[in-house]
Structure 1
Amino acid sequence: MTTHRTSGPQAHGTKSALTQQLETTLPLYQEILRGLPVGIVVLHLENPRDVKSFRITDVNPAGALLTGATLEDLRGRTLAEFPKLLKTRLPLRCLDAFQSREPRNLGEISYGDERIREGIYAVQVFPLLDNFIGVAFENVTERRQAEQSLHQSEERFRLLVQSVQEYAIINLDPAGNVVSWNKGAERLKGYRAEEIIGKHFSAFYPPEDVADGKPQQILEEAAQRGHSEDEGLRVRKDGSRFWANVVVTALRNDKGSLQGFAKITRDMTERHGKEESLAKAKDLLELRVEQRTTVLARVNHELRTEIAERVRAEEQLRASLDQLRALAGRLQSVREEERKSIAREIHDELGQACTAIKMDLALISRKATKRQTRLLTKVDSATQLVDGMIVTLRRIASELRPRTLDDLGLAAALEGQAQEFETRTGIRCRVALPEESLVLDSERSTAIFRIFQESLTNVARHARATRVEARLEREVNQIIFRVRDNGAGFDLEAAKSRRSLGLVGMHERAFLLNGELNVESVPGTGTTLTLRIPLPPSTLPKQDLR
């Protein structure tokens, strides 16, 4: 063979054209390299007998992104600077590809160090010109993790289905043939997997349902609506029947093509039996309720009649109580008038009589001679008796109806009563009166005075107090009268159980005037009595307190 070697100007022109073409396409290759989504690393083998001498001469941006390193971290480094990488199969396979001049698929390599992100990489190596080797790789970590998770999920689901004992979980093909069988199905229906897989699921239905085409109707309904639910009798392998709840769900792929059916069966025999028993019990209960309703209607009528009678009785009692309270009020008024009349007669009649007796005794004493010593002694003794009687009559008259209450008003009567109480018992008693002038009718003045009298009587008898303070004041539209002592106090509940007449009387006086009486007391802390009475209308008779 004769070879013609081009020389001279023609050869020089060809070389220039190739050089120009190379300079034009080189930027294109670099642009393609930068745009590739896979990582590309270019290695240069500096010593063919030493794999450590592979040096990284170039890395595309995807290579840096996938490894988590920068281009500057990788370029110019030899494999000797990646000790962990030398322990993998990458260096030897690179050398093998370099020597054989053929590409090698390294499969997946798990790797990571201080420069390269930990992960799973799919790697291929291929020889380049001269002593250069190219390495192409992808980071498949997420994909492998997803595949592993999917596999684990599928395995867990398989184990779950197999471990379920209460439900028969069966997969059917589009024609209704059994393709999978779990332990619950074996326990419930009696078939082992190898006995039933491949057979039509109509084997679980009674002959009459098969003749009516019920199994096929259930599949058609599930295919049309997505699922079908039914309850009824089903047949086991041994021919026994049981009541079951069955749900059949159509299984379709992403394109909507029917792939088969999932069939879940639960034994409801026990519940069905209970429901039947419950239905019978319900019917019986309804009958008894109807009977009981009749009885209750009669009892209700009787109760309504009794309640109506009680309401009438309560109304009559309330009317009687109102009458009794009105009578009590009238008795209080009559009693006060009687007291006033008796006190006036005692003061006017007996008082004048005692005064006349005393004047006569004084006259007898002046007429008697000094020698009539026995007469003078009798006169003196009689005079003392008359003086004592006058004092007693005045006290009785004051207790019956103090003249100061009628002549000078409530304020003077309260102050006089306090002075008399202090003089008689030795217990300090003070009354505080409002500065402004107050007017009250006779009924309210009498009630306040009598309640004050009764409270002082209770203090003298039971309290063992050393001080009593009373205060009369006006608040908006009511009169407040408060009496407080520092005595021993008492148990209110015990006093209520004894029905203390003093307390009852004070409460009745307050009630008759539409007021209220509140007693606060604890053993050892004294007692406070508070009386609240609404102010009278302006049309009622007035009495100046002063």
Structure 2
Amino acid sequence: MESLSEVALTEEERYRLLVDAITDYAIYMLDPDGRVSSWNPGAQRFKGYQAAEIIGEHFSRFYTDEDRATGLPARALRLAQTEGRFENEGWRVRKDGSRFWAHVIIDPIRSPSGGILGFAKVTRDLTERKAAELQLRDSEQQFQLLVQGVSDYAIYMLDPDGYITSWNSGARRIKGYESSEVVGSHFSRFYVEEDRAAGQPGKGLEIARREGRFEKEGIRQRKDGTRFWAHVIIDAIRDTSGNLIGFAKVTRDITEKVEAQQALNQAREDLFQAQKMEAIGQLTGGIAHDFNNLLMAVLGSLEILKKKLPDDPSMAPLLDNAIQGAERGVSLVQRMLTYSRKQNLNMSAVDVAQVVDGMMEFIQRAVGAEILLETRFPDRLPPVSTDPLQLETALLNLIVNARDAMPEGGRITVHADHMDESAEGGTGLGYVRLSVSDTGQGMDEETVQQATTPFFTTKGVGKGTGLGLSMVQGLAEQSGGRLMIESRAGEGTTISLVLPATEAEIQAETAVEPVDQNKPDLRQGPLTVLAVDDDALVLMNTSLMLEDLGHTVIEAYNGKDALDVLRSGREVDLVITDHSMPRMTGAELAEEIRVAWPSLPIVLATGYAELPAGNGRKWPMLSKPFTQDQLETAIVLAARNSLEQNL
């Protein structure tokens, strides 16, 4: 068989073989009028016509009706003839009527003299590419709609230098700018001045450029100047060659989230503080109970010792000093109990102006000559509901604190006003604000926040317990009011006790009613007193004071022992019992005695002040530590109550 190389072919035959071998392109000839004069296998493959069917037909049959109506076939030939080439893409029609996307080139074929012999037409089927482009365009449109539809995120593009190239609706909503206002400007405009000065925008882009991504939370600025917390992500965008073409930036407004977290953290801190204060309060109450028992033993013993020792001028000051120290301990315990809300208040209607006026002489001596003391009260001020003795102690605490804040002298003003607010409990009478103002050093915000914290003090070691303001706050809250502190460093301090006003009448102080001569007076003869206390030191001290008063004492260390004594038939004229005892409290013991021996007088003593709201109030109370005189007065009152109940 002869090979092709062995066959002598003309140049025209070689071109014919080449054209016929091409199946991916429709390559055919048109005469000067546009009629098909040749047809290759590629044209046959994707146009669907056999050569015999199409040769001699006008090429416009491949065009759509719309293109033929606009004269596109004739225009294509004319452009090819005048400009030397026509190239275009568009829809074409196959034999079966289906359409395909074609890339068309028409070149004129001229004779050596320049005349038109016809046209060479090359058509390529780009339907798949067109479909891919349409799909890509649809995808891009959908993505654009998606990005524009997101309003909770600011999504926009930056060029490699950080200038904005796109802007979505979320960016407009969050940042407040229209697209026309920001496209083309640098994204650093959204940063606050401090961050711009620190170079934060450039650092973010550099990290994204180097690592591919940058993420951070921080403060950003809106068009109107307001600030918001933002969560920011910057992603580097690179082309297929790895070249940086820009950045995608996503910003979310997380202000509400941050504020909610801050509120949660504050709530947790408040809860922790409340739990800590409750724990300290429980501890303080327990310590105060034990300390009261110790002070009871110390004070009582000192008092008996002072009475029994001979009048020795060298010894008396020592005893007085010891008693004074113990009494200061009593005052400290009272503060601790008031802080821990375990100090019972003797609530009554109090005229605050009258209280202050009665204390002025003593207060002036306490503050010294370097301090100018002023009072300022309105003509009419309603009484308040509180404990008058505790109020005096609280006021003294505030004035001493004001004095200590002015070591070089100054002015203290005690003043009050009526606050027209509805008091808790629905009285609708408002509050009275009793304030102590000084011109001293003042406090910064951090110190103000800690001022009422138990044991916190700005005074030197040994100069303050740190319980003064805690005690004042405890009194205010137990009275149904609150404590207010207004202070700035270098501008002085005003601390106010806000107490609920009351309509109750102020009770005038009266002397103790003398004992009715027609009634038995238990002080006229010795009594047999049953003393009950689980603390041996306190019981011994109480017995000593009773015996010194001429009474006979029977001791019991708990409620069961006390009941056994009474059931044994021994004659007892009066019972004095501690309240806080294990297994059976003093109030429970008193109730048992009231049922079995209703005429027997009872005195309840407590260093804890934790009596039940009901039965514990039926008997005279004696607060530890008590003096011998207080003990004797309690015995008289218990006897009177018992006699009156049995008449």
Which structure shows the bigger proportion of residues in helix conformation?
1
Greater relative contact order structure (CA < 8 Å, 6+ sep)? 2
TM-score (norm 2): 0.35
TM-score under structure 1 normalisation?
Answer: 0.41
Higher radius of gyration, 1 or 2: 1
